[in-house]
Chain A
């Protein structure tokens, strides 16, 4: 942001001294922010490739020791497995519900469809810890605390608004005339929907699903309330591990998480670009 504005201003020649100082200062501040943001990331990546049994920075010897430990430890692998088993269904259910929901909001004459959109977004607005406490209360009534099903439900509720927001934004860019044009040309309502609107929403739907997956995979608050003792997801395992001292294995996990999330985020950005009917990203 700051560098962008600075670049635009350099087009004017003979700038006053005050402006030059302000621009230089802006660049320095931006540089500091970037360093502060990136430093921990780079530290974690560096440590993950150290051969030490303890947290060592800068690493004296490089190697894959942390990764070897991670992939031979069944507890860590179980936690990763559970996170996948929760995040995948949560993301898919979010995607499945989001399609009829945007249809109802944008194409139906359903009473209270604005309210539907608002309530769908509620879990984004309510503070997560307060929400988790409430959910614990509800889950306790139905014996869902500490169950796999309970965790899938809880994560779906948290992830759904993200998917809905992405899909709804894409839907608002698809004019209804496109469906009408397909229908008058001979397509049934269902076919017009599948071939035109549905097809145009597909990139956003995939992006929204990935977003929901990342959010569920990374969920670290709710799990402490409704996970009980037996259900340990990856974020919970990291949390527990840090509580009893610093195990350098978590730097390997963190590095893998960052790489994985980065790849998915890149995919989402590309998908949203492809989904824009005007072209361009």
Chain B
């Protein structure tokens, strides 16, 4: 695997605020890497530093081993898709897509050929003569993608590109993005605050928080073995139950939680305050050997077809949400007491934050 992009200890400070504490990250060829985080987490700052729109306060950015930290955006050979598409309104679709080729002094026939290829790729053949305002939002986004990919950039940056689309169109575009990523074998850095989107698209996800990358792994790994309560909450919408470690050995620990005891595996670091991660689907109605009992009052139920989402309030913890099989319980009524169980092999011990 060839490393395409190397971000080494990059930081960004404004007068009195720190937008990015320190980020270190490598992206390999053909990888789809997502920067996932809430607003203000530094993900957009990092993307803009990679693009060259902002200079980092410290650290360096290497593209195929070449230090590009001080280069102009134009000199980097990077493609980018913006949230609001940013198509040039006074140019046709064809001229928009050919813009980067023109800067690279491609001859006209070669440009036209490439524009046709790109329009086929994004499944908008024959639209080169239209103006952006004549296209729908989804079509504009495809043109923006075609423009960014036309000159075969080393890496493609995408800044919340699906944020302006409605849900149906977003799901459709996610599929298109996966296909185009496969077909073009492009290396992509994708920024979003939507974990579902990150989950659907990414090879790896960097979870960002308060100017730092706090987790970096495959979606499956982040989902099954989060390294902190924040990642579990933000990424998997999991429940985080405060726990006390009683004893620990060889990657296993016995913890006390909600008045019960449970043996579980330890994946993250150790901190003063630890917690058990209980994913929504880990909480089950039937008791298993060694399972932890979670007891509370049902606040709300929501039928999701085959499954039932139960929100209950648990003393000492607060809100706990579980997704259980709709047929597992006869009836779950609001206000009723409910006992669910967390099996030992499903629980993960992490630092609270």
> Interface on A for B, CB 8 Å cutoff?
175, 177-178, 180-189, 191, 196, 199-200, 277-279
Identify which of B29-37, B75-83, B255-263, B289-297 touches chain A.
B75-83
Which of B74, B84, B131 contacts A177 (CB under 8 A)?
Answer: B84
Inter-chain CA distance A142–B136, complex, in Å, is 60
Residues of B with C-beta under 8 A to A278: 89, 133
Q: A277 near B73 (CB under 8 angstroms)?
A: no
Residues of B with C-beta under 8 A to A200: 89-90
Return the chain B residue nearest A278 by Cβ.
B133
Inter-chain CA distance A178–B104, complex, in Å, is 18
Return the chain B residue nearest A180 by Cβ.
B53
Residues of B with C-beta under 8 A to A184: 51-53, 73-74, 76, 78-80, 148, 157
Q: A177 near B82 (CB under 8 angstroms)?
A: yes
Inter-chain CA distance A184–B131, complex, in Å, is 21
Which of A178, A186, A188, A191 contacts B86 (CB under 8 A)?
Answer: A178
Q: Which of B53, B74, B84, B157 has the most CB of A within 10 A?
A: B74
Quote the shortest CB–CB distance from B188 to chain A (angstroms).
Answer: 15
Which of B86, B89, B100, B151 contacts A180 (CB under 8 A)?
Answer: B86
Q: B82 near A180 (CB under 8 angstroms)?
A: yes
Which residues 34-70 of B sit at the A interface, judged by CB distance below 8 A? 51-53
Quote the shortest CB–CB distance from A123 to chain B (angstroms).
Answer: 33
Q: A182 near B99 (CB under 8 angstroms)?
A: yes
Q: How large is the interface on B (under 10, 10 to 19, 20 to 34, 35 or more residues)?
A: 20 to 34
Inter-chain CA distance A277–B88, complex, in Å, is 9
Quote the shortest CB–CB distance from B135 to chain A (angstroms).
Answer: 12
A-B contact pairs, 8 of them (CB 8 A): A177-B83, A177-B86, A181-B88, A183-B74, A184-B53, A187-B74, A189-B72, A279-B89
B147: CB under 8 A from chain A?
yes
Quote the shortest CB–CB distance from B91 to chain A (angstroms).
Answer: 9
Q: Which of A182, A183, A278 has the most CB of B within 10 A?
A: A183
Which residues 70-116 of B sit at the A interface, judged by CB distance below 8 A? 72-74, 76, 78-80, 82-84, 86-90, 99-100, 103-104
Label chain A's interface by main secondary structure: helix
Quote the shortest CB–CB distance from B134 to chain A (angstroms).
Answer: 8
Return the chain B residue nearest A181 by Cβ.
B86
Q: B147 near A185 (CB under 8 angstroms)?
A: yes
Residues of A with C-beta under 8 A to B147: 181, 185
Contact status of A279 and B133, CB under 8 A, knowing A175-B84, A186-B103, A188-B72 = yes
> Interface on B for A, CB 8 Å cutoff?
51-53, 72-74, 76, 78-80, 82-84, 86-90, 99-100, 103-104, 131, 133, 147-148, 151, 157
Q: B89 near A183 (CB under 8 angstroms)?
A: no
Q: A184-B79, A185-B99, A185-B103 are in contact. List 19 more A-B contacts (CB 8 A).
A: A178-B86, A178-B88, A180-B53, A181-B87, A181-B88, A182-B99, A183-B72, A184-B52, A184-B53, A184-B73, A184-B80, A184-B157, A186-B74, A186-B151, A188-B72, A188-B74, A191-B103, A277-B133, A278-B133
Inter-chain CA distance A28–B133, complex, in Å, is 42
Residues of A with C-beta under 8 A to B53: 180, 183-184
Residues of B with C-beta under 8 A to A178: 86, 88
Q: B90 near A277 (CB under 8 angstroms)?
A: yes
Inter-chain CA distance A277–B86, complex, in Å, is 11
Q: B100 near A196 (CB under 8 angstroms)?
A: no
Inter-chain CA distance A200–B87, complex, in Å, is 12
Residues of B with C-beta under 8 A to A182: 88, 99
Inter-chain CA distance A116–B87, complex, in Å, is 31
Residues of B with C-beta under 8 A to A175: 84, 86
Return the chain B residue nearest A189 by Cβ.
B72
Quote the shortest CB–CB distance from B340 to chain A (angstroms).
Answer: 48
Residues of B with C-beta under 8 A to A177: 82-84, 86
Quote the shortest CB–CB distance from A273 to chain B (angstroms).
Answer: 13
Inter-chain CA distance A180–B79, complex, in Å, is 11
Q: Which of B51, B73, B78, B104 has the most CB of A within 10 A?
A: B73
Residues of A with C-beta under 8 A to B78: 184
Quote the shortest CB–CB distance from B206 to chain A (angstroms).
Answer: 21
Q: A186 near B100 (CB under 8 angstroms)?
A: yes
Q: B133 near A180 (CB under 8 angstroms)?
A: no
Q: B82 near A181 (CB under 8 angstroms)?
A: yes
Residues of B with C-beta under 8 A to A199: 90
Which of A181, A191, A196 contacts B80 (CB under 8 A)?
Answer: A181
Residues of A with C-beta under 8 A to B90: 199-200, 277
Inter-chain CA distance A243–B74, complex, in Å, is 65
Inter-chain CA distance A278–B82, complex, in Å, is 18
Return the chain B residue nearest A191 by Cβ.
B103
Inter-chain CA distance A191–B84, complex, in Å, is 22
Residues of A with C-beta under 8 A to B99: 182, 185, 187
Quote the shortest CB–CB distance from B22 to chain A (angstroms).
Answer: 25
Inter-chain CA distance A180–B82, complex, in Å, is 9
Contact status of A277 and B100, CB under 8 A, knowing A177-B84, A180-B73, A186-B74 = no
